[in-house]
A and B are shown apart, each in its own frame.
Chain A
């Protein structure tokens, strides 16, 4: 029981990070039909920027988070403007190649500046063992889950309540009709990229806080694919639930089975879900009226 609770908790932590990364991925896909293969590098950049601000410059962590998010937003806008906008109307395969190129570029820039060694992250989240329901867990994991949950709720509210969020979903639904009511599609694309970079940066900070900063963080980007395929490529709740399911599965298989099965299991799920439910759990099938 003890072990189960601990595994569940670390699965949730992992899942929350995956959910944040997947959320950004889904957002970009929904708004602009681009599959962003550089999502993992957004995590990486977020983690290193936070490391530089707090670990190297010695800023307070709260300012660090805010500035990191702002930098991520700026990065998203710049990438959309400079790289993605000229590609509008190009075939999907070129878009994929561009984002793959982008991911190599970002990784290279990060390792040029900070090197490839693993560094300890300036732990700003207290990591003390406490007892929850009889199991011993560290508080940093609870914090990570909490932070991720807050952001997920905020984004959900943004999409359901604010008119910018609704406009964003409108663009995802029918670009031309959205244009006809004065919604600026360019602005929405830029917003999608910046929000996506921001959520990924937060995810990156959370991972780095638990695992330390290293180039491995971008490897999480690969696990985003099973998550979004499971949840549905264009579903925001799907990204969250998919992330949590994959996170839990990894923790349980790692804890109970071992043999490195935890790093394979997401892709087993990926293959299975593509065979039985290609739209994913919550993906939109095209609505047909009867």
Chain B
């Protein structure tokens, strides 16, 4: 459905962030994109959604195709109209608008605005807590509720592909679990394809059908979650487990520090 072919992204004409990045997102699946801070995950999403331009970034090489159509030169609004919706990192709800107005803004590109009411109800069935607060300014919601609103806003646009940028950021573990369950439900019930960027590798691998690991602006490893979980490097660096499969204890940390094998 979505494929990135060898793309290169440069910020401010000098900073090379993505160095030949390739990625496939098949229809109807949840694909996870994992990686440390600064690996280029968010940049990848922005390259897809056309949000690079306001930050002085540019796709200088390669191509991004969505359903066979190149989209890497399109402005953001056209990308949204084609069915790709990015839920930005840090929630970014419209603080001074009410919950309901936030949802309406999410459905801005819809041609069938008469159905907005029905879809707002649909969002409320996924997130009943939003319904209780529909007339409140979104700025006063808790972090978890804001994240729910951010995802609900995406649903309002009826996208084919939702890109979630760190939905677990700054949330309590229980809430994170709840939100991931809902992401999974949305994927199954609405048949929405999902590209999930996460730091929380354990959770992301739980719900994903396929995962990519990114470092320094390129993909270093990819595979089914089960295979990745078996990989010694992934266990050590992303899941925090030792080779025996147990939680790492600082008592055992001695001189030998495992090095990443894929880098050299």
- A interface with B by C-beta (< 8 Å): 163, 166-167, 169-170, 172-184, 284, 287, 289
Nearest residue in A to B116 (C-beta to C-beta)? A163
Contact between A181 and B49 (Cβ–Cβ < 8 Å)? no
Kindly list chain A residues whose C-beta atoms are within 8 Å of the C-beta of B188: none
| Interface of chain A: mostly helix, strand, loop or mixed | helix
Of the candidates B75, B80, B139, B140, which one forms a contact with A181 in the assembled complex, judged by CB atoms under 8 Å apart? B80
Contact between B94 and A174 (Cβ–Cβ < 8 Å)? yes
Contact between A166 and B51 (Cβ–Cβ < 8 Å)? no
Contact flag A182-B157 (CB < 8 Å), given A163-B108, A287-B96: yes
Contact flag A173-B76 (CB < 8 Å), given A181-B106, A182-B108: no
Contact between A287 and B105 (Cβ–Cβ < 8 Å)? no
B241 at the interface (CB under 8 A from A): no
Contact flag A177-B97 (CB < 8 Å), given A182-B81, A183-B105: no
B178 at the interface (CB under 8 A from A): no
B101 at the interface (CB under 8 A from A): yes
20 example contacts (A-B, Cβ-Cβ < 8 A) are as follows A166-B101, A167-B105, A173-B96, A176-B51, A176-B54, A176-B92, A179-B76, A180-B49, A180-B76, A180-B86, A180-B88, A181-B108, A181-B109, A181-B157, A182-B81, A183-B109, A184-B77, A287-B95, A287-B140, A289-B143
Nearest residue in A to B141 (C-beta to C-beta)? A289
Kindly list chain A residues whose C-beta atoms are within 8 Å of the C-beta of B116: 163
Kindly list chain B residues whose C-beta atoms are within 8 Å of the C-beta of A172: 96
**B65–chain A nearest beta-carbon distance, Å:** 19
B18 at the interface (CB under 8 A from A): no
In this complex, the member of B86, B96, B105, B139 whose beta carbon has the largest number of chain A beta carbons within 10 angstroms is B105
Bound CA span A177–B46, Å: 12
B153 at the interface (CB under 8 A from A): yes
Kindly list chain B residues whose C-beta atoms are within 8 Å of the C-beta of A287: 95-96, 137, 139-140
Contacts A163-B116, A166-B97, A176-B88 known; list 12 others, CB within 8 Å.
A170-B102, A174-B92, A175-B54, A177-B88, A179-B76, A180-B80, A181-B85, A181-B106, A181-B108, A181-B109, A284-B96, A287-B140
B104 at the interface (CB under 8 A from A): yes
Contact between A170 and B86 (Cβ–Cβ < 8 Å)? no
Of the candidates A166, A177, A180, A289, which one forms a contact with B140 in the assembled complex, judged by CB atoms under 8 Å apart? A289
**A82–chain B nearest beta-carbon distance, Å:** 21
B246 at the interface (CB under 8 A from A): no
A-B pairs, top 3 by smallest CB distance, nearest first, are A182-B80, A287-B139, A182-B109
Kindly list chain A residues whose C-beta atoms are within 8 Å of the C-beta of B108: 163, 167, 170, 181-183
Contact between A289 and B81 (Cβ–Cβ < 8 Å)? no
- B residues 1-58 with Cβ under 8 Å of A? 49, 51, 54
Contact between B97 and A181 (Cβ–Cβ < 8 Å)? no
B113 at the interface (CB under 8 A from A): yes
Contact between B92 and A170 (Cβ–Cβ < 8 Å)? no
Bound CA span A103–B54, Å: 30
